[in-house]
Amino acid sequence: MSEAVSASSSSQGAAAGGKKVKQSKRPSPEEIEAKRRERAAKKEKEAADKAAKEAELAAAIAANGKIPNGHLNEHGNVLFVPRDWASVSQAKEKSASAKQKVRVVSWNILAQGLVRRTLFPGSDCLKFKDRSVGLTAEFSSRTGHGWDVGCFQEVDRMDVHGETLDKDGFSYVYEKGYRQKQHGLLVAWRRDLFGESAHRRMTIDLDAESVAAPSEPVRTACSRVTRNVGLFVALTLRDSANGDARDKPGIVVATTHLFWHPMHAYERARQSGILVRRLHEFRKELGAEWQDAPCILAGDFNDQPHSATYHLLAGRKLTPHCHEEVSMSSVVHKSIDERRERGGVSVGFAEGTTEVARNLPSTKAVAPSTDSDAVEEQDQQNAEEDAEEQGEEEEREEEEAEEEGGEPDDRMLKNCRAATKEDALLSMDELLQLHDVARPRPGSADTQGDPGEGTSAHLGSAYGLHYGHISDPSEEGNFFGSPERGRERWDDPDWTPETPNCHTGDSTEPMWTIFSSLFCLTLDYIFMLPKVETSTEARAVPSYPTVTRLLRTHRTETLQPGVPRKGVCASDHIAIGAEIEL
């Protein structure tokens, strides 16, 4: 019995011992080496693919400054509707292939501080968290329109936009002009083309600028305090070979945002004339070597191509409508009288707001009570800020009244009085003279008489001159003067789908540059100052910089029912652009 038990135990032990025996799964040296080769090959392929993509990206950026499919996010969703740069057929004969070409864009990006739901009913991207992704994608040159020089209006949130520009390799100048203003103007440029800093820059206060010659007494002829400014920048082209600045200048660019109120046509015409004069003088002050440099004035002019402002800028024959709107608005707002009571100074104008850190805090500083001079100085600053804030509040109230459909008084604009001789507003003849850089400023000793045939010099519009010469495909039917142009204002009681375009004509400005759900208009332009000519024969036909391409503008079906809208455009305005030969 003991032997059987012993045998059984031995058998169980052997079985138990058998369970503990395992096959070795350790790879052989050959297998290890094969795995290493596989991993190395995979890494090599990934590196090659990455290098190929980077090379493709670099080639694309070198060709047009853009990242392919930059309008898509990582999931393939559309952030904005992209557009191409279309060739101008006339430019092929004039263009010199060896010359540097620069793409200039202008865009009112809609300041977040000005967004109101009453103005954009139905929009799905009014909060900045909803707007910012699409706005940044289109604003960025690398993912947006591949621009080299940008002129932007209604710019706030510089913490976001400044970071985008720095990342893309752009330098910039940002100016609000007034300490407490919510938004400002921005001019940005590609550093590898134009260097780190501007050759020269200037900011002007349009309220305080004189329309008279420097030798004459100051005459602002201002009808209303607006706090609008102009920003001028001269950029020197860099030598691509060694990175040093060339002796040859690059380009002069200026941007502005003219007064918004639709009934104040006179003030916009005055402002545009000052900008033309100051830009012309700015280029002259740069020296003889700059006189052939392209000189651009781009921005939001808050007036359409049938307006007096546009006709004066472009040197077109004034229509009865132009005369009427200037005459009706040649009145004086109460803000002018209030400014005179303060000694005729503009409240709060402070040049040099480029750095974000210079934005003042919302609360006013408290002066130390022990220092009477400091107290007096702080009281003065606080009083100026109070006056400025009061002016902004009145402007907001007027904007809201416009948005709510308030009817203007046909006899007199709100808070305005009839102009007197002491106000010294400009006549229509003087406005014509102010916009013509071939003539001296109004009031100069040598301005009497007709300047003569062929001696005028006005700005030329990049789109107005060339958009009608776009091909493959043509932009026919997408002009301000096209019969297909529809309703401008949603509350127009007389409009029907059969109503013809009241602006039908030869204008080839874009059909729309602003398209909200309440109103659709053409307000944004890229103007060019004529080249300096010394002979009367040469001045007979103005010579402008060669425009080789234009950024196509959206058609009505893309913009309906209005922007800002996700996947289309994050602003109510659309960007416009011109490729110009240096």
Q: Tens digit of pLDDT for each residue in 464-481?
A: 999 999 988 999 999 999
Quote the pLDDT of residue 409.
Answer: 44
For residue 392, the model assigns a pLDDT of 54
Residue with tokens 């071939």: 438
Please report the pLDDT score of residue 358 as a whole number.
36
Q: Which of 447, 511, 502, 456 is nearest to 479 (CA)?
A: 511
Q: Give the CA distances from residue 269 to residues 32, 275, 350, 431, in Å, rounded to whole numbers and listed in that order.
A: 81, 10, 24, 7
* Residue 9 CB coordination number (10 Å): 10
- Number of domain units in the chain: 1
Which residues in 423-462 are b (16+ Cβ under 10 Å) and which e?
bbbbebebbbbbbbbbbebbbeeeeeeeeeeeebbbbbbb
Tell me the β-bridge partners of 230: 204, 256
Q: Is residue 62 part of a domain?
A: no
Q: Are 562 and 517 in contact (CB under 8 A)?
A: yes
312 domain-assigned: yes
Q: Is 322 among the domain residues?
A: yes
Neighbour tally for 2: CB within 10 Å: 6
Exposure letters 147-163 (e unless 16+ CB within 10 A, then b): bbbbbbbbbbbbeebbe
Q: Is residue 24 part of a domain?
A: no
CATH of the domain at 439: 3.60.10.10
Q: Quick one: pLDDT at residue 399?
A: 55
Is the residue at 55 inside a domain?
no
Statement: residue 357 has pLDDT above 50: no
In angstroms, what is the C-alpha Rg of the chain? Answer: 31
CA distance 232 to 290: 14
266-281 residues labelled b (16+ CB within 10 A) or e (exposed): bbbbbbbbbbbbbbbe
In this structure, what is the dihedral angle of CA atoms 414, 303, 331, 276, given to the nearest 10 degrees?
140
Res 6 pLDDT > 60: no
The single-letter code of the amino acid at 21 is V
Q: For 40, phi and psi rounded to 5 degrees?
A: -65, -40
d(CA 61, CA 64): 5
- Note whether residue 47 is domain-resident: no
pLDDT exceeding 70 applies to what percent of the chain?
Answer: 76
In a domain, 58, yes or no: no
Is residue 23 a part of any domain in this protein?
no
- Structure tokens, 472: 């493959």
Lowest-confidence range among 200-214, 271-285, 495-509?
495-509
Domain interval for residue 405 = 85-362+374-581
**Beta bridge mates, 254:** 232, 297
